[in-house]
Chains A and B, each alone.
Chain A
Amino acid sequence: MNGQQTTEFRWHGRGGQGAVTSAEMIALAAIEEGKFAQAFPSFGPERRGAPVLAFNRVHDSIPIKIRSGVTNPDVVVVLDPGLLTIIDVMAGLKENGVLVINSPKSLSELKKDYSGPWNLAVVDATKIARKELGVPIVNTTMLGAVVKAVGIIKLESLNGPIKEHFGARAPSNITAAREAYEQTQIAPPVKTMPKRVEVLEVLPSWQEILPGCVVTSPGSAKQYRTGDWRSKYTDFDYSRCIKCGLCYIFCPEGCIEQRPDGYFESNKYYCKGCGICATECPKEVISMIEEAS
């Protein structure tokens, strides 16, 4: 990347994972270096667990005036590997740009699905975060990978902003970012485009909007797949199940259904993986399994 042009970043994360903080750290680090930078979130109603976006722009010497969203990023960062199969993270990514992915998979494994006319960078940030921070929150860890892959900001420049933001927890976050910097592997661009996730969004024209925006199809939001928010899934071991139904009654999604044989199961289309059913099951029928594993 070249600091003489505006470098645009798009961060993909989930509500609660700190993508906005990541974008802020990049902007503050760039500003600390005397550069011009901005960071902003995609303002929306999305909740903890739902896919969210954050953005950056960085330029060495010219103030950044553009306020619109980033649609043709130079850099795409994916904090959560689960997003790769549900969102077209590569949408608009520029030729010779960078796609930075957090994944337990190796670079050679990921190349076949995510290599394209861009550099592909991979790091197992979740593993590093668990080790250094004790929690699988990767927003600071991924900063190291991004600095390594993009190359327009120095790793040390992150220290100040991280200290300011995280206080006592700063040293472990700085260590995690450094480890990610060291472990990030990068593959050069290839000519072929990988297969992309198709996201169909049908929105009404103004003529199709009924008076007062009335919605006449009850429960139509059922089409929305909240299962995409999940980082853990439920695994039922029916050998111990007494069909008591407590998992059903305590599910905030209403996505646990009774089968004809009387056993209950969670509908993966909706289950967000909160783990309430597993905690409340008196017979320990349900375990929560990490999606990525």
Chain B
Amino acid sequence: MNTTVTVTKRLVNSFEQLAPGHRACLGCGEALAVRLVGKALGQNVIIVSATGCMEIISSQYPFTSWEVPWIHTLFENASAVASGIEAGIRALSRKGEFNEKTKVVAMGGDGATSDIGLQALSGALERRHNFIYICYDNEAYMNTGVQRSSATPYGASTTTSPASKITIGQTTWKKNMPAIVAAHDVPYVATACASYPFDLMSKVQKAMNVDGPSYIHILSVCPTGWRSSTESVIGLGRLAVRTGIFPLYEIEDGRYKLNMQMDKLHPVEEYLKQQGRFRHLSPEVIASIQTRVNADYAKLKEKATRS
């Protein structure tokens, strides 16, 4: 039986899905998110991982950090592999050969989700497989050395969107993955961040109870790629939320719901200035980011009000 640990008067599953001894960078916000997700999932799961940081840091043969059944095959196909597992479970449980309650959970980074694996994800969502997809978004290809992805924020300097005298680095706005997923009409979509661990875990538990596809997009602070200090990981995550850059919300059966009512957003500069990847940004660019964040947040609020 699982035991619990009391954290600020709340009971938390003591089960660690990802055993200590994993090889993530020190202060890895993504490993922390995986750990929290595991506490909410419990043990009756099968995890499908895309290629990426979390795969490399946890599965160096002949050892594994995983305490639950786990499979990795390729970069772009986690959703398709999950589709097969889910169908397999359905077929086998019809014959009484498998526990039909076992939940399939696919996971990938922002590249595996919003770039190379988008087609497979879209297919699996459209076919309405009963699975959870979790995007651990650290906003670039960190595993290969901080190259830009379609989830890299505007103005960030990465190794393939380097800032220079004539460019600010990434010149496109972050792809809105939750909206793309929501457009598939799935029952449950949520954003989360490890800086809000109880919010994150309750969303994962909600997803566990959905019959059909669900999607959780977790912003994962990456001190290595964001060029920020390791001890400020949780604080940066909080700022991402409080500035409105990464708001926490849910989309349940198409209805938007904001999880934190923020009447006044923190200035984006507070968040940007703590990260080396934004250090080159001029006050004008920061102001333009502020304008866009304000507008996007207003749109989100509007959607939540209409829902």
CB-contacts of A176-221 with B (<8 A): 203-204, 209, 213, 215, 217-221
Nearest residue (CB) in B for A243 is B6
State the CA gap A72–B29 with chains docked (Å): 39
Considering the complex, give the chain B residue whose CB is closest to the CB of A47: B25
| Inter-chain pairs besides A252-B24, A252-B29, A252-B31, 8 sampled, C-beta below 8 Å | A45-B56, A47-B224, A49-B26, A215-B64, A218-B64, A220-B62, A221-B19, A248-B5
Residues of A within 8 A of B61 (CB): 213, 215
Question: Would you list 24 pairs from A and B whose C-beta atoms are within 8 A, ordered by A residue?
Answer: A15-B25, A47-B24, A47-B57, A49-B26, A204-B62, A215-B62, A215-B64, A217-B64, A218-B64, A219-B19, A221-B65, A229-B26, A244-B7, A246-B8, A248-B5, A250-B197, A252-B26, A252-B233, A269-B20, A272-B26, A275-B230, A276-B230, A279-B232, A279-B235
Residues of A within 8 A of B67 (CB): 218-219
Kindly state whether residue B300 has any CB partner on chain A within 8 Å. Answer: no
Chain B residues within 8 Å of A96, by CB: none
The yes or no answer to B96 lying at the interface (CB within 8 A) is no
- B90 contacts partner chain A, Cβ-Cβ < 8 Å: no
Q: How far is the CB of A29 from chain B (nearest CB, A)?
A: 25
* A279 neighbours in B (Cβ, 8 Å): 231-232, 234-235
Nearest A-chain residue to B27, judged by Cβ: A274
Question: Closest CB of chain A to B286's CB: distance in Å?
Answer: 22
| Residue among B18, B25, B68 having the largest count of chain A Cβ atoms under 10 Å | B25
Q: Please measure, in the bound complex, the distance between the C-alpha atom of A221 and the C-alpha atom of B224, giving whole angstroms.
A: 23
Q: Which residue of B lies closest to A267 (CB)?
A: B20
Identify the closest chain B residue to A278 (Cβ).
B231
Interface residues of A (CB under 8 A from B): 15-16, 45-50, 203-204, 209, 213, 215, 217-226, 229-230, 243-246, 248-255, 258, 267, 269-270, 272-276, 278-280, 288
Nearest-CB distance from B221 to chain A (Å)? 10
Q: Are B31 and A253 in contact (CB under 8 A)?
A: yes
Do A254 and B231 form a contact, CB below 8 Å, given A47-B25, A48-B26, A221-B58?
no
Contacts of B58 in A (CB 8 A): 221
Interface centre among B26, B65, B66, B194 (most CB of A within 10 A): B26
CA of A255 to CA of B20, assembled, Å: 6
Q: Is B12 an interface residue (CB 8 A)?
A: yes
Contact of B20 among A230, A253, A288 (CB under 8 A): A253
- B65 cross-chain contacts in A, Cβ below 8 A: 219, 221-222
The 7 closest A-B pairs by CB, nearest first: A275-B231, A274-B27, A245-B7, A272-B26, A219-B19, A48-B25, A252-B32
Tell me whether B16 is interfacial, beta carbon within 8 Å.
yes
* Distance from B280 Cβ to chain A, minimum over Cβ atoms (Å): 13
B21 touches A221 (CB 8 A): yes
Contact of B23 among A47, A203, A249, A275 (CB under 8 A): A47
The reply to whether B35 and A276 contact each other, CB–CB distance below 8 Å, is no
Given known contacts A250-B32, A254-B16, A274-B233, is B23 in contact with A222 (CB within 8 Å)?
A: no
Least distance between B129 CB and chain A CB atoms (Å): 24
Does the CB pair B7–A246 fall under 8 Å? yes
Which of A244, A252, A278 is B8 in contact with, Cβ under 8 Å? A244
Nearest chain-A residue to B18 (Cβ)?
A: A254
Contact (Cβ within 8 A) B32 A245 = no
CB distance from A11 to the nearest CB of B (A): 19
Contact: B235 with A223, CB < 8 Å? no
Q: Is B184 positioned at the interface, with any CB of A under 8 Å from its CB?
A: no
B146 CB, nearest partner CB in chain A, Å = 12
* B interface residue count range (under 10 / 10 to 19 / 20 to 34 / 35 or more): 35 or more
Min CB–CB distance B145 → chain A (angstroms):
12
Given contacts A229-B26, A245-B5, contact A222 B35 (CB under 8 A): no
A209 and chain B: residue at smallest CB distance: B62
Interface residues of B in 239-298 (CB under 8 A from A): none
**Shortest Cβ distance from B54 into chain A, in angstroms?**
12
A274 contacts B7, C-beta separation under 8 Å = no
A190 CB to nearest chain B CB (Å): 37
B64 adjacent to A274 (CB under 8 Å)? no
CA distance A250 to B5 in the complex (A): 13
Chain B residues, CB < 8 A from A224: 21-23, 63
Min CB gap B263→A, angstroms: 25
Q: A246-B7, A253-B31 are in contact. Are A222 and B20 (CB under 8 A)?
A: yes
B56 to chain A, nearest CB (A): 5
B60: CB under 8 A from chain A? Answer: yes
Given A215-B62, A219-B66; A258-B18 close (CB under 8 Å): no
Query: Per-residue 0/1 for B41-58: is the Cβ within 8 Å of any A Cβ (1 yes, 0 no)?
Result: 000000000000000111
Any A CB within 8 A of the CB of B28? yes
The complex places the Cα of A254 from the Cα of B56 at a distance, in Å, of 18
CB distance from A276 to the nearest CB of B (A): 6
Do A251 and B32 touch (CB < 8 A)? Answer: yes
In whole angstroms, how far apart are the Cα atoms of A220 and B59 in the complex?
Answer: 10
Q: Is there contact, CB below 8 Å, between B66 and A49?
A: no
Supposing A48-B224, A249-B197 touch, asked if A220 and B63 sit within 8 A by C-beta, the answer is yes
- Chain B positions within 8 Å of A222 at CB level: 19-21, 65
With the chains together, A224 CA to B19 CA distance in Å?
10
List which B45-100 residues lie within 8 A (CB) of chain A: 56-68
